[in-house]
Amino acid sequence: MEAAAAAASLPRLKRESPPPPSAGASSRVWRLSNLVMAVFFGLAGAVQVNDPDPGLWIVAYSVPAALTLVVGLSPPIADNIVWRSLSDLHSAACLVGSAILGYSLFTNAQESILHEEEGRELFGLLIVTVWMSLCRHSAKNSLGGVHLAIAIFLSLFPFVMWLYIYMNAEMRTSWPSHCKTVI
């Protein structure tokens, strides 16, 4: 009886169950989504060379391109204090820019939001902000379910919208001259 009581008082080793098979797949999808978004942000920054204020927009897209690339290569980096600080600072700046552009669109928009340069810029800043938020959240919790679905959608959405805007002849007629020579 004493042996049983002594055995019961010993700490039990926890047997960790192996991760579910989908955990590896969702991790690969998350990493791939980050690499796709890094490419998008990099391209978005590169096409800003013709913009009247290229420095602002190149930085607006290059910072998340670099942060996202690093997360795609090593997801745990999103928990690093330097990564989080840069992401938070950049996201805050993007939110301020979004508020300014949103106000400008609300007071001055004459056409559909996508026909307005400020509307496209607003969508870009919102995509940056949401993506940085997803990356930040991924550091504490593995992305799966709804978060992974949002990541997949967001990694495809910018390319689909870019293609739509580029292919839409009516939309191109309202572009400022600096946008017509981009691609």
- 139: pLDDT strictly greater than 90: no
Average confidence (pLDDT) over 128-135: 95
Which residues, other chains included, contact 83 with Cβ-Cβ below 8 Å and sequence gap of 6+? 67, 70, 71, 77
Q: Are 84 and 71 in contact (CB under 8 A)?
A: no
Burial environment of residue 69 by CB neighbours within 10 A (0 to 12, 13 to 18, 19 or more):
middle
pTM of the shown model: 0.77
Closest to 33 (Cα-Cα) out of 155, 121, 135, 132: 155
User: In which band, very low, low, confident or very high, does the pLDDT at 116 lie, cut at 50, 70 and 90?
Assistant: confident
pLDDT tens digits, residue range 25-61?
Answer: 888 999 999 999 999 999 999 988 888 889 999 999 9
Joined tokens for residue 179: 């946008």
